[in-house]
Amino acid sequence: MMKKLLGLKPLWIFGIFILVDIICIGMGMGLPIFCILFGFPVGWFAAKYITATLTPVPQVFRRVLLYATLTAIVTLLGMILIWGPTISFLFDPSRDLANTGVPMILYEPLASFIGWLVLMIVISPFLQLLTTLFGSYLALLSWLNEGAKGPVLMP
């Protein structure tokens, strides 16, 4: 199964990622917690996929950063689609922000709602970027420590 996945073209892999990312967003009911956690296996797979064709370390790191950024952009677009329309609530003075279902993390409805939107739209995709990078760098580090057992990277 892994050989089949590693043999796929990058667009197919990206399409599969988009599908699974949408499922993760749905499982979290709009909260990207599963997308953030999905960053660890995506990072591991990205490192495995990249080292199957590239061996120079700087190119591998650049490609890992590119793939991690693409995963964060997909989640960012999903969060904009889900939470973006609620930004209009900020400009409606008759809207009761205390009853929108957003947790009152800052003890004031308007501040809590703004904080929630920033958390969902900006910070969550960034956290997915970090988990994807961490997963891929951890995989690369473990393969470098294993030596000849894993993919061999040349400096």
152 domain-assigned: no
Q: Domain residues for 43?
A: 2-147
Residue 64 · residue 39 · CB < 8 Å: no
| Per-residue model confidence as pLDDT tens digits over 10-35 | 899 999 999 999 999 999 988 899 99
Answer yes or no: is 10 within a domain: yes
Instruction: Report the distance separating Cα 141 and Cα 123, nearest Å.
Output: 26
Residue 151 above 60 pLDDT?
Answer: no
Q: What tokens were used for 98?
A: 């205390």
CA distances for 40 relative to 133, 135, 136, 154, angstroms? 8, 4, 7, 24
DSSP 95: -
Classify residue 155: in a domain, yes or no: no
Q: Into how many domains does the chain fold?
A: 1
User: What is residue 10's predicted lDDT score, i.e. its pLDDT?
Assistant: 86
Alpha-carbon distance 131 to 113, whole Å?
Answer: 26
What residues form DSSP beta bridges with 56?
Answer: 154
- Say if 70 falls within a structural domain: yes
In a domain, 154, yes or no: no
Asked whether residue 42 carries a pLDDT value surpassing 80, the answer given is yes
How many angstroms separate the first and last alpha carbons of the chain?
30
Predicted pLDDT of residue 38: 95
| pLDDT given for residue 150 in this prediction | 54
pLDDT digits (tens, 9 = 90+) for 101-146: 888 888 888 999 999 999 999 999 999 999 999 999 999 888 777 7
